A = this chain, B = another copy of it.
Amino acid sequence: MFLSTVTNNLDAKGRVSVPADFRSTISNDSKRSPFDGIVIWPSLDGNFLEGGGISLMEDFQASLDLKEHYDPERSALQYAIFASSRQLAFDGGGRVSLPKDMHEFANLNGKVTFVGLGRRFEIWNPKLFEERRESILTLARESRHILKTSNSGDVR
């Protein structure tokens, strides 16, 4: 499970260390398929990247298999995620190198922020993430009374 938020350096070669906690999450989970690395793709929700272990893609594959072949949703998702994604292998130090087009998409330079979100994670420009975080937390505060009454402990 991907938890916590970590900011690491993006070096001149385009490499960045994946947080050690994320790496161990991936290696624990990847007994099924032994790709030692991550998969990332550009988000549909904004200028940041989304990612996870290869098993995330396999789960996704399985859910696509349930849809009809001609289902437009199915091909939309295949293009948006499978076709737009990249597999990035870890080097000996647990780093991956982010492709240049991904740099541009997510406005990455110097530092990148990994945001753990359970099954998957996000990769942000730290400054943009801070703005996003502020606005989302504001929203959460405003609506927290709704959360209290509407469920008993299962806040997501």
Contact = CB atoms under 8 A, between A and B. Distances in A.
Interface stretch (A10-18, A49-57, A104-112): A49-57
Contact count band on A = 35 or more
10 contacts: A1-B58, A44-B141, A59-B155, A60-B151, A61-B118, A73-B146, A75-B136, A77-B140, A80-B140, A83-B116
Nearest to A56: B155
A39 interface: yes
- Of the listed residues A54, A56, A156, the one surrounded by the most CB atoms of chain B closer than 10 A to its CB is A156
B120 A154 contact: yes
A131 interface: no
Contacts of A155: 56, 59-60, 63, 119-120
Given A73-B146, A75-B136, 9 more contacts: A2-B82, A4-B87, A44-B141, A76-B140, A77-B140, A80-B137, A81-B156, A82-B117, A117-B154
A3 B86 CA distance: 6
Interface in A76-122: 76-87, 115-120
Contact of A137 (B73, B79, B152, B154): B79
Q: How many copies are assembled? A: 2
A144 B45 CA distance: 9
B83 A4 contact: yes
Given A76-B136, A119-B154, A139-B76, A84 B1 contact: no
